[in-house]
Amino acid sequence: MNRYESPRSGGEARVRYRDGDFDVLSPGTFVRCAVTGMAIPIDELKYWNVDRQEPYLDAPTALKRHQELFG
């Protein structure tokens, strides 16, 4: 992000998820949970899947997705 872009520019951010961290590719204030569709504020984002590049609202939602995928 360059110094002229505000991290609070509003709207949905584009994010690349990495192990233990993530990179904001396009600024925004939230991402959408891959399971629920609910907005997750960037500063509260804690759960994601690196391989699927999906964010999750919380731990139970991440577990639910894992169980859907792997039974």
| 5-24 tens-digit pLDDT | 455 568 999 999 999 999 99
**Would you call 53 helix, strand, or coil by DSSP?**
coil
Nearest to 69 by CA among 57, 52, 55, 53: 52
| 28-66 tens-digit pLDDT | 999 999 999 999 999 999 999 999 999 999 999 999 999
Taking the complete model, does pTM exceed 0.85, yes or no? no
Backbone angles phi, psi at 23, to 5 degrees: -115, 130
